[in-house]
Structure 1
Amino acid sequence: MAWGMTRFVVLLGGDLTATSRLASQIQKARIIAADGGMAHAEPLGVEPELWVGDFDSTSEDLAERHKDVTRHAFPAEKDKTDGEIAVDEAIKLGAREIVLVGGLGGQTDHAASHLGLILKLGRRRVYSFITSGTEEAYPILNGTHHFDLPPGSRFSVVPFTDLAGLDLEGVKWPLVNRSVPLGSSLTVSNVALGPVTVRLNQGYAVALAYPESVA
């Protein structure tokens, strides 16, 4: 899929390391910030077009520095996280590809919900992944998936259901047509030899990658 004006970046709270790889992943994208995720705007050299959330994680200083950004405020007592609200806004604006920046590390409940969110987006045929700059998370649904990773990168596939017909290529320990039950660590801490291909016949999983030489 061509990257263009349907490509959005959503800035989330959580860990962030500004790397050249991350910069290339977000270039020429439209930017939306979710509450305290706005803190990532300056390190990344971007200015969001929209800022959403209940703003309970936004300091007065951060609010002042980005006072000219359009805001959509939501009550603190709501049925969605600020991150999911930002993703919904991106989709309303025509997003077909969404890069969630941040969203890993920090609070485990939020990080886990973000992993579920990219699986949901994948089921809706919206391409998405999460990156902190040093850690990346991708949804694995039925079909073939390709990942451009530097050799030596740690690469894991974490099942969210029982998996059937799993192939791993381009890794130190390849697999062919394997069944992997929910909770198995069989596919954790593999090593990419270069670009990685994952094929899956049945189930849902998340691939976690830790790119080498990310600075």
Structure 2
Amino acid sequence: MRRVLVVGGSPEPSSAETVRAAARGCDAVVAVDRGLDALLASGLSCDLFCGDADSVSEKGAALVRSAEESLDPAFEVVRYNPHKDDTDLGLALGEVLRRWPEARIVATCMSGGNPDHELAVLGRLSAWSGELEVKEDRFDQRFLKSGDVWNLSGHEGERFTFVPLSCEAVVSERSMRWELDHKHVPLLSDLGVSNVIESGGASITCHEGLVVAWVFRS
């Protein structure tokens, strides 16, 4: 299974250190529009650029144009018409699926900026059928579907939150300050907000539905 880093176009990108950490062990790197600038700031290159290049810097746009015009480009470019019905991220995930259908995605530079884009990013990432993790400066994020377990060793004392993204989810939490056992939790409930991981054996299990979960680093 390929491990693919997808660097989003958040107006508030993750730090260069976080981007480099997310890239470790990845077989391919995809820049989503302004995500190319985050890669450049991190000293990294991409294998595939996806976007309409409307938010990338002048330096990044010049690199995209050079790659489009070159017979031996530094990276592949899939440029979109700015007047499109989908987001750059949605289209980029489609390109990843076509190239690496079994890919495990590591995503970064996804969470900052406008709330409408942030909600759309949650929707797009939650629809990915394979393994996917999000790494940002202050937190790690996962989407858990029916039968998924997130083992949380190494996060003792850190804050943990989950929020259901389906009409209802059934969730268990272990080794946390407040535990749940096959609890039915409605859509967008705040029940799972701001728990605390108490031991290295902590975990969350999604028995039914879909939840998004975060570990916030101390």
TM-score range, shorter chain: 0.7 to 0.9
Is 1:69 the counterpart of 2:75? The answer is yes
Matched with 2:49 is 51
Alignment of 1:129 with 2:133, yes or no, is yes
Query: SS of 2:81's equivalent?
Result: coil
Structure 1 residue 24 displacement after superposition: 4.1
**Structure 1 runs, 4 residues or longer, greater than 4 Å off:** none
Is the contact made by 1:144 and 1:197 (CA closer than 8 Å) also made in structure 2?
no
Q: Secondary structure at the match of 1:201?
A: strand
Question: Hey, what's the Cα distance between the residues in 1 that align with 2:76 and 2:170?
Answer: 47
Q: What secondary structure does 1:115 align onto?
A: helix
Please identify the structure whose Cα radius of gyration is greater. 2
Stretch moving more, 29-38 or 144-153: 144-153
User: Where in structure 2 are there 5+ consecutive unaligned residues?
Assistant: 67-73
Counterpart residue number, 2:158 = 153
CA distance in 2, matches of 1:60, 1:25: 25
Matched residue, 1:92: 98
Indicate which of 148, 159, 171 corresponds to 2:176.
Answer: 171
User: Residue 142 of structure 1 corresponds to which residue in structure 2?
Assistant: 146
Task: Identify the residue that residue 191 of structure 1 maps to in structure 2.
Answer: 196
Q: CA RMSD in A?
A: 2.1
Tell me the equivalent position of 1:26: 23
Question: Could you tell me the percent identity over the aligned residues?
Answer: 25
- TM-score w.r.t. the length of structure 1 is 0.84
Secondary structure (helix, strand or coil) at the match of 1:171 reads coil
* TM value normalised by structure 2: 0.83
- The Cα shift of 1:164 comes to 4.5
Q: C-alpha offsets along residues 104-154 of structure 1, whole Å, 9 cap, x if unaligned?
A: 021111211121122211xx2x11122222223211211131244522221
